[in-house]
Structure 1
Amino acid sequence: MLYIKAMVRFEKKDYESASSLANQSLSAGFKNFRLKLVAGASAFYLQNYEQSNHHLKELLPYIAPEHPARRMLAISQLQLGLIDDISETLTDYDSTSKENAQFLSTLSYELLEVGAFEKAKEMANYAAASNGMTAEQTARAGVLKLLMNDPSGIDTLELAVQQNPELISAELALAFASIKSGDLVRATAISDKWLKEYPNNPGGYNLKATIFFKENKLAEGKAALEKSLEIEPNNVYALTQLVKLANHEKDKDLAVSLTEQALKAHPETIEVLGLYFEFHKDKDGLDVITQAQQNHAKDIKYGILLAQSLMQLEQFKQASSVLDGYDVNVKTPKRYWQLLLSANAQQADGKDLLLLLEQWHKTNAYHIEPVFLLANYWANKKAPDKALNILNDAFKNHPKNVMLHLVKMQLLLNNNDSKNAKLLFTAVEKFDLNKDLLAGIEGRILLLDKEYAAAIPKLKQQYQSQPNNINASYLAFALEANSQKGEAIKLLELHADKDRVDNKINPKMTLSLANMYLADDKNKAIAEYERLIKAVPNNVVALNNLSWLYMDQGKTTQAVAYAKQAYELAPKVPNVVDTYGQALLKSNKKGAAVQKAKEAYDLSEGKDIDIVLNFAEALLANNMNKEAQEILNEVTAVTKEQKDKKQRLLKSM
């Protein structure tokens, strides 16, 4: 009885009753194909996509390729973010019919909107296989191609116009695409045609104005927009472009006046509201945006606009509160997540940014931005394995994303993973990338493999194309390692001098230069280390090395001060503790020196020869000859300096 009632209610389009009755019947154990179909279809019409997917997915093996339930299931899966399931749902789907091609084309737009680029392309290709596409469908395919950064979209739009010369939307899209690609001749021809054939349509003048602005002919562009407004007063495009022009020409009064005119004519248009607030960043402007958001409470675009406006007024808590009021799903725009992260980052008691990033990534695995942000987060936390896992998972959805390849390459190089960097390079070099960038990547891989001579020309090529501090540092490292230290120093000095002129400092490069000075010019090394710690007071390497340099000069007060700073920052690093012990010993603080020397000895587990010898020296200074003898008997000196020091210590007993 419930089964029959469910069918009747469904036929009468009473989907709520049909769904309830069908589910009751199914729960009672009545399993029937048509009943589950009613349950799934009713749920779909009620926008209960989870239940629709549950019922219809079970029926998939028994549903004909052309059955409308497949479309319902595909849309439900899209709404739930089950993008990978869509291909299976549409297996054997006939894409050659006009109706089906229209559905696939629309689905492709939806997939593109959520960031599922590869799936969108797949659906678009199916749609393009349709026989006898109308001009409108051809135009839609052309726009879709352009959205996917496929330049052949212009040719497709041109074909649509040939199919139907009266198809204004296709011709307009073709004109603006031509402007973007730099083909102003074709765009001008279209605008001239419009001015002749559609003299009462403002689009011709709007198009002409855009071309003039592209050519930097501002006066002519302004005149064209004014003519557009004569034909259709208050048309949005002309008004908003005039606002932007007035702002460009620093005529704020005119810009303000035009935004007020535009708001009066189009009080609910997002672009107009945004422009209005740009020139009314006060309570009155905020009230206008707030009212619009309240009028469109379920439209997230208005919530995003309000949140942006609140953030410009530094009302971060209120902005995050507005954003928190929306339910998120796979179709939630990227801008929502970006604002939510930014608003919380500005609050001392804001939500944990890592949790927000993870929520974004979980909600939409096709957005590439949270992938990069999470990878960067874990890389900064010295957890490269976590960062790599996130990137590797992203390749499933973005196998051809060049930035994903480059970010992974950077992570591998920074993690000294030469083996996997070389494997990835074979994929990276297949992209149409700048040859200098590729040379730089190859040079860094060669650096990791210690093939310095081969790395130098590659790194030099990248440096000559982009002579910045980072590229200079890599090239200098290769030069120094290849026994070309003089050239390395000259290169780094050149950049250091430029930085001094601009009163800047690059910590990594300054540290490299100071380290190179160590052997040959200790005074220059001291100067560079001193510059570095002024900018980065907690640089342990610089503090530690300064202590040794001042010890060599007999300036024990400075040596102890710097060694103490380094020790406080890194009390578990054996070499740092050892330096502190030596500085104390040089300043005749023997008791404290032997304590630090023992700390260093214990931390290194007696495996560092220099630390062992320094410990023995501190023991002898404290008349602990027996302990020193035992230590010296156990150590095997290797270098000449170590052997000389061991003999000197033995003789001093």
Structure 2
Amino acid sequence: MKHSRLVLQFLTLLVALLSLGGCMRDPEKVKRRYLENGNKYMAQGKYKEAALMYRNAIRRDQKFGEAYAQLGDAELRRGDVRAAVGAYRRAVELLPNSEESAGKLADIYLAAYSMQKDRNSPLLNEVRDLAETLLKKDANSYHGLRLRGFMAVSESKSAEAIEYFRKADAVRPKQPELIFALAQLLTQDNQWLEAEKLAQKIVQDTPHYVPVYDFLALQYLRRQQPAEAEATVLKKVANNPTVVEFKLQLAGFYRGMQKKDQSEQIIQKVMADNPNDPAVFRKVGDFFVRLRELDRATQVYTDSLKRFPAEKTSFRLRAAQVKVAQGKPQDALAIVEEALAEDPKSNDALTLRASLQLQYGGKEKQQAAINDLQTLLSRTPSNAVVRYNLARAYHSRGDLDAARVQYLEAIKLAPTFAASHLGLGQVYLAKRDFGKAIGEADEALKADPANAAARVIRINALTNSGNLAQARTDSAAYLKEKPDSPDLQFQVAVIDFIDGHLKEAEATFRSLRSRFQSDPRLTFAIAEVMIRTNRQTEALKFLQDELTKSPNNAELRLAVANTALRIGQGDVAEAEYRQLVDKDPKNTDLYMRLGETLRKKGQIQASIEVLKKGQQLAPTNPAANLQLALTLDIAGMKRESLPLYEAVVKVDPDNAVALNNLAFMYAEDGKDLDQALTYAQRAKAKLPNNEDVADTMAWIYIKKQLNDNAITILKDLTSRQPKNPTYHHHMGVALFQKGNKAAAKQSLQTALSLKPAKDEENKIRELLAKVG
């Protein structure tokens, strides 16, 4: 019996397996099962899993229109609009007798169109084509009529739009979105009484359709009907009794109507009805923040710390943000530190601390912000916002390459995040890569067509790349939309300045400065115009007067020093640079500027001492090493300058000045002439028309006994620069080595007559003695 029962169980299992196998082999049943599973996930709000099921169904049948339609819904719920559009398009092709996917696709196009400035957008053509297709199949197509109505709205044909919306309503009554659009259109067409009836009908038929309440309340307030507005908001609360936000909206309404007691009763009841729900108390605190009742918001957040100990971090961070809004960033930072002391793994607290350090901490807090952001990045490597903030931190520190890397990573994670494109565009501007800057500005404008910062970056890049005509065209177009934009006006003034329209530029700069006196760019721009129009002394006095008003403004003091240096007032420049160095003794750039000032004043030894101090602060800084090396050369201390040039080339291998001088020194010493020639050739690639670089190559050829090559170069140099003693000297050496003593003697005598430097004069006389 046991055996027969076992056989029976086996046969039952076998039949079940065969049945299952048959089912699994039936493609129609398989795809339907995937579709059903996808629908179950959709009902549970699991849109990612639903999309996966629908895609599996489509793999079984590439023409399964129903799966494409459902996939469009899932992707739209997930926020992937592009994927939704692709799915809906395919559904429209495969389900010619269904108009739902076409309607949803058109809604996406209309939403995208509403965000654009181009009134002739290709998106409208897509909507028009969908409407025509639907109406050809069915003259009473609900979506076809509805879309025709929206097309009429886009063309400012109100009467026609109203007619189409009425027809659509007749085909499919009580659709709140359609009736709401009709009510709005009637209101714009001064048919308020009918619009009011339609809106009230929506409230009656679809009490959970929220936008209609706000529309009605606003219209009543505009028409001086506060009682009707109040009744509408009360009805919104009554029809949606579990929504705390609507109750707080009613409290806000009463505050606006100067009925504070009624407002307070609602707020207290909201908290009393939800004593154990921290989310409700957060919403109450946020409500007071929106009303700018910041002390009251702080009170709610602080009280909630004790009531909800598990939510301490959340309430502390909100309290910190209130302190920022009150202009108390240090108090905010102290609160965030408390939060991190108790909850060190809070990403939100780390993010806020990094943001506060970046915005309010000054240079000394930049590294701390970077450390926090790097910690966050290790925890959430796919967080585009963290990467963007890390890029900002590097950017503010001046580390452009590190900033560029993080901006690019942020863009990979979130391609439409305009802020990352803006930051990267600013990096490219700073690196003078204007083509890429324009590209990033254009990407930002795709995401946000009216983005003012992107427009400024684009105009700035066009201007700096020399494309002034296009910069003017873009500026004019943008100013038509925003004629009062100070940033755009500033860019137009910059274009005028570069284009030589200095009077117009100065007028714009002064006009802007009358409105934005604290913007240093305008002060510096006016001073620059003065310098360009031969008012150098006036420019310096203008800046000095501003410095008198703000004696602690380091940026302004630096402008005074720089201007004084430019116009030859070395004593003024030196005094200002020394003050700046005293205040910022670790600033390499200031030592370089002071060293340059002393060199121009003829105080070479003092210049060297100052430049050495700056170089010691940044021993690998190519600019500091180069300036010190050049000054040592002037002092005749070439043995000391050689390793500095080598250090420059190591860090900045394309530095033409360092390459040239190093090549000449190698040649002078007869040291590694092949390397010297390589350096000279690299310098020439960077400075192809520079006479000194050509002379260096000639000198290397002389040292390599390639005299004909040297003579060819030097003939050109002496004809172009006939009063340069060095070129004639080198020509004499090349001719002497070639055996042409008479010509060599003539070149050397010409060199002597041009009064060369003392050390070179000695070399010329020594060679003349050999020539005889």
TM-score by length of 2: 0.54
- Aligned-pair distance for 1:531? 3.8
CA–CA separation in structure 2 for the residues paired with 1:140 and 1:634: 92
Which position in structure 1 is the counterpart of 2:71? Answer: 72
Which of 348, 351, 370 lines up with 1:308 in the alignment? 348
Distance in 2, Cα, partners of 1:353 & 1:594: 33
1:323 and 2:380 equivalent?
Answer: yes
AA partner of residue 339 (structure 1): V
1:501-540 matched pairs, under 5 angstroms: 502-506=552-556, 509-516=559-566, 518-519=567-568, 521-533=569-581, 535=584, 536-539=587-590
Deviation at 1:523, TM superposition (A): 2.0
Q: Quick check: 1:482 aligned with 2:521?
A: no
**Deviation of residue 482 (structure 1)?**
1.8
> Quick one: structure 1 residues 16 and 108, their matched pair in 2 at CA, closer, same or farther if it must change by over 3 Å?
same
How far has the Cα of 1:407 moved from its partner?
2.2
Deviations 1:579-605 (A, max 9, x none): 4433x26xxx69879999994995864
**Structure 1, 87-96 or 1-10: larger mean CA deviation:** 87-96
Residue 385 of structure 2 corresponds to residue 338 of structure 1 = yes
1:606 aligns with 2:607: no
Residue of 439, 443, 448 corresponding to 1:389: 439
For the pair 1:209 / 2:214, whether they are aligned, the reply is: no
Q: Which residue of 2 aligns with 1:410?
A: 460
SS where residue 534 of structure 2 aligns?
A: coil
Work out whether residues 486 and 512 of structure 2, in 8 Å CA contact, stay in contact via their aligned partners in 1. yes
Say whether residues 1:7 and 2:48 are aligned partners: no
Distance 2:516 2:270 in 1: 46
Report what 2:650 is aligned to: none
Task: Check whether the contact 2:574–2:597 (CA below 8 A) recurs between aligned residues.
Answer: yes
1:320–1:340 CA contact under 8 A, matched in 2:
yes
Which one of 515, 540, 547 corresponds to residue 496 of structure 1? 547
The Cα shift of 1:616 comes to 6.5
Does 1:561 find its partner at 2:601? no
Distance in 2, Cα, partners of 1:399 & 1:197? 35
Assess if the C-alpha contact under 8 Å between 1:263 and 1:273 holds in 2: no
In the TM superposition, what is the alpha-carbon distance from 1:206 to its structure 2 partner? Answer: 2.2
Q: For residue 240 of structure 1, what is the aligned residue in structure 2? A: 282
8 Å contact kept, 2:391–2:403? yes
- Taking the TM superposition and a 5 Å limit, the aligned residue runs for 1:337-376 are 337-342=384-389, 354-376=404-426
CA distance 1:124–1:576, change in 2 (3 Å): farther
Quote how far apart the aligned CAs of 1:3 are.
Answer: 9.5
1:459, 1:471 within 8 Å by CA — same for their partners in 2?
Answer: yes
1:175-210 per-residue CA deviation (whole Å, 9 max, x = no partner) reads: 89899xx97977885235544896795777522432
> Structure 1 CA distance, aligned partners of 2:403 and 2:296?
39
2:426 aligned counterpart, secondary structure: helix
| Superposed displacement of residue 481, structure 1 | 0.8
2:52 to 25, 33, 47: 47
Alpha carbons of structure 1 residues 506 and 192: separation in structure 2 relative to 1, 3 Å: farther
Residue 427 of structure 2 corresponds to residue 377 of structure 1:
yes
Aligned to 2:304: 258
Q: CA deviation at 1:480?
A: 1.7
Q: 1:542 to 1:365 in 2, by over 3 A?
A: same
1:452 equivalent in structure 2 = 502
CA deviation after TM superposition for structure 1 residue 380, in Å: 3.6
In the alignment, does 2:153 pair up with 1:103? no
Gap change, CA 1:43 and 1:204, over 3 Å in 2: closer
CA displacement at 1:408 relative to structure 2: 1.6
> Which residue of the other structure, out of 188, 197, 202, is the alignment partner of 1:164?
202
> Following the alignment from structure 1 to structure 2, what is the Cα–Cα distance between the partners of residues 369 and 491?
37
1:124–1:141 Cα contact (<8 Å) kept: no
Contact 2:69 2:91 in 1 (8 A): yes
Deviation at 1:88, TM superposition (A): 5.8
Residue 190 of structure 1: which of 207, 229, 232 is its match?
Answer: 229
Instruction: Kindly state the Cα deviation for residue 572 of structure 1 after the two structures are TM-superposed.
Output: 10
Structure 1: distance between partners of 2:445 and 2:492: 22
Aligned to 1:249: 295
d(CA) in 2 for partners of 1:628 and 1:494?
60
- Pairing partner for 2:522 from 471, 485, 502: 471
Conservation of the 8 A alpha-carbon contact between 1:44 and 1:52: no
Q: Contact (CA 8 Å) 2:462, 2:471: kept in 1 or not?
A: yes
Residue-by-residue CA offset, 1:162-185 (whole Å, 9 max, x unaligned)? 442444622454489899xx9797
Q: Tell me, what secondary structure is at the counterpart of 1:505?
A: helix
Counterpart code for 2:572: K
Q: Pick closer, same or farther for the CA change 1:256–1:430 going to 2, 3 Å.
A: same
> For residue 281 of structure 2, what is the amino acid of its counterpart?
L
Corresponding position: 1:439 with 2:444: no
**Structure 1 residues 370 and 205, CA gap change in structure 2 (3 angstroms):** closer
Task: Note closer, same or farther for the CA distance 1:601–1:175 as it changes in structure 2 (3 Å cut).
Answer: farther
For residues 521 and 202 of structure 2, what CA distance do their matches in structure 1 show? 55
Verify the 8 A CA contact 1:422 1:445 in the aligned structure 2: yes
Once the two structures are superposed, residues 106-155 of structure 1 have per-residue CA deviations (whole angstroms, 9 ceiling, x without a partner) of 7579989xx9999999799986736327463258879x99xxxxx99xx9
Higher Rg of the two aligned structures: 2
Task: Tell me by how many angstroms 1:6 deviates.
Answer: 1.4
Is the 2:506–2:526 Cα contact (8 Å) retained in structure 1?
A: yes
1:225 is aligned to 267
Distance 2:495 2:541 in 1: 24
Cα distance in 2 for residues equivalent to 1:512 and 1:227: 65
1:33-44 matched pairs, under 5 angstroms: none
Aligned to 1:581: 633
> How far is 1:44 from its partner?
8.7
**In structure 2, C-alpha distance between the alignment counterparts of 1:321 and 1:593, rounded to whole Å:** 44
Q: 1:177 to 1:3 in 2, by over 3 A?
A: farther
Paired-residue identity, %: 10
Check whether the contact 1:384–1:415 (CA below 8 A) recurs between aligned residues: yes
Q: Residue 35 of structure 1 aligns with which residue?
A: none
Residue 545 (structure 1) aligns with: 596
Query: What is the alpha-carbon distance in structure 2 between the residues aligned to residue 570 and residue 458 of structure 1?
Result: 38
Aligned to 1:331: none
1:261/1:90 CA distance change after superposition, 3 Å: farther
Q: TM-score, normalised by structure 1?
A: 0.62
Q: Superposed, which structure 2 residues align to 1:277-288 within 5 Å?
A: 282=339, 286=343
Distance in 1 separating the partners of 2:502 and 2:408: 41
CA RMSD in angstroms comes to: 6.3
**Contact 2:71 2:84 survives alignment (8 Å):** no
Do 1:412 and 1:421's aligned partners in 2 also have CA atoms closer than 8 Å?
A: yes
* Conservation of the 8 A alpha-carbon contact between 1:391 and 1:408: yes
**Offset at residue 456 of structure 1 (A):** 1.6
The question of whether the paired residues in 2 share the 8 Å contact of 1:533 and 1:542 is answered with no
Bigger relative contact order (CA 8 A; separation at least 6): 1
